[in-house]
Structure 1
Amino acid sequence: MAMTLARKILGPRPNIDIVRELSKHKWALKGQVEITAMSKMALSLTFSCKEDMSRVLCDGPWLIDKSMLALQKWSPKMDLNESFFVQAPVWVRLLGLPLEFWVEDVFKGIAISFGELLSMDPIAMARRRLTFAMIYVGVMQGTDMPLSIEINSRLKKMEPTFEI
């Protein structure tokens, strides 16, 4: 289940064949994806290629046939029978973060301030864009979002700002 995404759907559940067509044509996958209806309002997507899973997760949420499909990594704690989102996926743009902090451990530490890290910006991780980095976090309903956090290192202390 390590390469599985699952999430409830906001709006009417699209026909699973439409989701399969999206996976073939719009996602341009390198590997295979198995799509399963888990409940009336939830889908499971199991990927054979980790890169495909990361890209689909990072590029979402997806609008499919008048419904929004917001994905997150599957975990045993997920309650797909809930009638509302307990956790909302949010992209956080990190502005003014020096390049020496562009490492997975720092991004994970920043994500904790918001919620659960769902994914990291693959473009920033590959350093193909150096103006800002982004992390995709699951924010619990009712959580106050920080406007800045303090990062300490042996070299300097800083407070990057965020856009959500």
Structure 2
Amino acid sequence: MGITSNSPTPQTKCVVSDHRVEVLDVLVNSAIAELSLSLFGKFQAFCPPLDLVKKCVATRWKLKGSVTSSAMANGFFLFSFINQSNMATILTDGPWTYRNSNFLSLCKWKPNLDPWSDLGVVTPMWICLPGLPLEFWNLEILKGITNSFGNFLAIDSITQYKSHLLFVRVHVNVAINTVFPTKVILSLSWTLGFNK
């Protein structure tokens, strides 16, 4: 059985055979190219309605050019940009929140992302560790702490040079479905806890 589109060009032809659908590579590659300027994201605490997400994006992101926000299955959103620069700005300038407490985890869209299975989807995120005693402001110790819930990427320059001592700021790759602890216990010859 064959199915063809109304278009006379052979590039848009799809063939169905025994429940298998074969799609020409040119169509898939075109869609991948279009989606390459998109970010895939999910809010950590709750999923706000799409109209509120669009308003939040318009007021908080302040991009030169537009961004299209689309709701997906399982509480995910797709944010499509008009250029690489805008997308990179949003990806690196976070973390982004809705109502100052609902964090938005973002990662670059990639083929075969399944919103019903967010396992394996990772996103870079800046996290803050307030109240960490100064003797733990060591790169290797910070790697150990953050590697317990993600993969360490970097610390910011303020943390590195101890320009302020209010909190440590660490960049980590985390699974998009990570639930962060409100308290981290550091085990030494004595036990010390500090709140997030």
The TM-score, its normalising length taken from structure 1, stands at: 0.52
- The alpha-carbon deviation at position 20 of structure 1 amounts to 1.1
- Within the candidate set 58, 63, 66, 1:32 is matched to 66
The aligned residue for residue 3 of structure 1 is: 37
**In 1: Cα distance, 2:43 partner to 2:96 partner:** 10
Partner-residue secondary structure (3-state), 1:70: strand
**In 2: Cα distance, 1:80 partner to 1:71 partner:** 13
**In 2: Cα distance, 1:89 partner to 1:40 partner:** 21
The aligned residue for residue 87 of structure 2 is: 53
Cα separation, partners in 2 of 1:88 and 1:25, compared to 1, 3 Å: closer
**In 1: Cα distance, 2:80 partner to 2:172 partner:** 20
Contact 1:60 1:70 in 2 (8 A): no
Partner letter of residue 72 of structure 1? C
Confirm or deny that 1:19 pairs with 2:53.
yes
Structure with greater helix share of residues: 2
Q: Which has the larger radius of gyration?
A: 2
**In 1: Cα distance, 2:88 partner to 2:64 partner:** 12
Instruction: Give the aligned length.
Output: 114
Cα separation, partners in 2 of 1:2 and 1:79, compared to 1, 3 Å: same
Unaligned runs of 5+ in 1: 93-113, 118-123, 125-130, 142-164
For residues 94-147 of structure 1, give each alpha carbon's deviation from its aligned partner in whole angstroms, at most 9, with x where no partner exists: xxxxxxxxxxxxxxxxxxxx86x9xxxxxx9xxxxxx8xxx9663458xxxxxx
Unaligned runs of 5+ in 2: 1-34, 128-149, 162-169, 179-196
The TM-score, its normalising length taken from structure 2, stands at: 0.45
- The alpha-carbon deviation at position 70 of structure 1 amounts to 1.0
The aligned residue for residue 117 of structure 2 is: 82
Partner letter of residue 9 of structure 1? F
**In 1: Cα distance, 2:120 partner to 2:103 partner:** 12
Partner-residue secondary structure (3-state), 1:26: helix
Q: What fraction of aligned residue pairs are identical, expressed as a percent?
A: 30
Cα separation, partners in 2 of 1:64 and 1:84, compared to 1, 3 Å: farther
